[in-house]
Structure 1
Amino acid sequence: MTASTQVRPTAPDVAEQRRELALPGGADRVFRLVLRSMGAVVLAIMAVVGLFLAVRAGLALRKAGGDFLTTEAWEPDDENFGVAAVLIGTVLIALVAISLAVPLATGMALYISEYATGWRKRLLVTLVDLMAAVPSVVYGLWGVNFLQPHVVGLSRWLATYGSWIPLLEVDGYDPGDPLSPQTVFTSSTFIAGIVVALMVTPIISSIMREVFSQAPVGEREGAYALGGTRWGMIRTVVLPFGRGGMIGGTMLGLGRAMGETIAIYMIISPVFVIQPHILENGASSISSLIALKYGAAGKVGISALMAAGLTLFVVTLAVNFGASMIIARSRSGAQSEV
């Protein structure tokens, strides 16, 4: 009786077989090549835009030097210009917008994905998508003619009871004087931030809604099986699963808020000094500066505006890269607590 022997493949043979199985077919190779080419085109476009701005901004940057980032005034004809005031104004408007938009967008996304059903859900999804499609000039007109007169009372209340917070302080306003002028509260960072918040809320909400709706059904049911309530299931399953999408949506909204032009241009009263008081009249942003000064700018002025645009481009890239790093460490679905 002879014993049958079975030859087992060695480790190198197994690795070779796996490599053969992993080799894509012709269609997969073409698909991967197309995707890589599209990614390369996007990177190339970004590089070309950055290079164009850098070249056109060269004249202004040579004249201003390192003072370009610290100078508040904007007088290119006198070679006295910088982005200190408009850059801080851009950041403040964007932060006000995100502070208002993220809670609203999160609640909206959770209601649509977890509570609304049937025609209500379809109607809300359609309305949110339509809000994202409304032109920014319409938001600007609404903000100037309707929101601003009605929000002055809120601004006054915040200045009266929150003036101990530096950002909410208003110079020249006396809470004890009922005849104190209302114009000190108009055309402010706060009002511009509210308008921009309404513009970015649909974008953030749509991203969050899609991520929340993909939370695993098994983990949802597991949370209910352990005796959890609907809010308990949302808190332990849906929110941890959608963490990366929440961060990505917020950063996308932040980039959109920093680049908004027309709506802010219609609302603010431009000032070229650092204005840290968000309730006070006078604000500034890089995008509105470009829209305001481009038509009448000379050679140095155009170069200075290109330098301002380059600054906004770099800041936006930094925000997006930071968001990508955060998302990479907090992928949606990576953690769920049941």
Structure 2
Amino acid sequence: MIWTPGREDRVAGMPTTEQWRRLSVVPEKREVFGCDLYFREGWADVLSVFGDDAAEVLGGLAMLVAKPDAVVGRRLGPILEYLADNGFVPVATTRFGYTRHSMREVWRYDWHIYTVDRLQLCTFWYLTNDVLLFLARDVRPVAGLPATVRLSELKGVGDPAQRRPHHLRTKLNPPNRILNFVHVGDEPADIVRELTIFLDRPERLRFLEDLRAHLAEDRTARARAEISALEADCPAHDLDLDATLTRLAPLAGEAAAARLRRVVADGDRISWDELAELVPFEKADRWDVIVTASFVVHNERPVPHALLPAVSAEAWTAQAR
């Protein structure tokens, strides 16, 4: 029997109709996540820890992951400050590392727009160092709006031309739209799915139990300690293109450096393999390679439509009326 959201004969263990309303406002996502392996596993664990309160608890939490570039770019402290300034209190923090599989699964429904060159860059980039995941309680809730949806709206998009002064990414000042520092769970349903991708079950259950025990607390001090420990393991990088190309010139040669500068100046793009021919990856600083690639590698391709519709705060507030 094929299960459909909203039907009373749903498969045992899946969210009820009312729970789905609290988890996602996108009907297509409810349909897809109803069959998604990570969501199903994660939902079972969330239910085992929080019981009937699961959807309500998730609605009050925002999930932010600081990407590898935020770590070496020393944006973790400013991220924590932004959360506090905008009414989000850290209640759980954990360190983890992406794998070539987990990064693809997290953005399974988004990365179809990326070129193969961009995927090769992402694999090189996301596996470079560990990252931090924050769950934060919303202490300035907006009626009808889950916490992670509110933070996602505050995050700002990748394109700097479409960001506003109050957005998190504006405050963090990323070098370009590729190295954009943060990921925020779109909806409560995404928190469930993504925690399952990031954390193996024993670690995930410990994390959820710890969250339940400290849900009402302000754990900013613990978050700061996690930041200090991670930064101690990851040398800082300026993420500056000019400085990067200057450092690469002695290794790659002036001709290769000049070629890369022309590509940047002309707004042109090259393949990942061509970049590998120009720059000796094995000799260069890994982050110098990542920064350069983020400016010069082919990154997107035309696609006919999104795999899942975008989430909007307006849809959530309309549903609440």
Q: TM-score range by the shorter chain?
A: under 0.3
Higher helix share: 1
Q: Give the TM-score, by structure 2 length.
A: 0.25
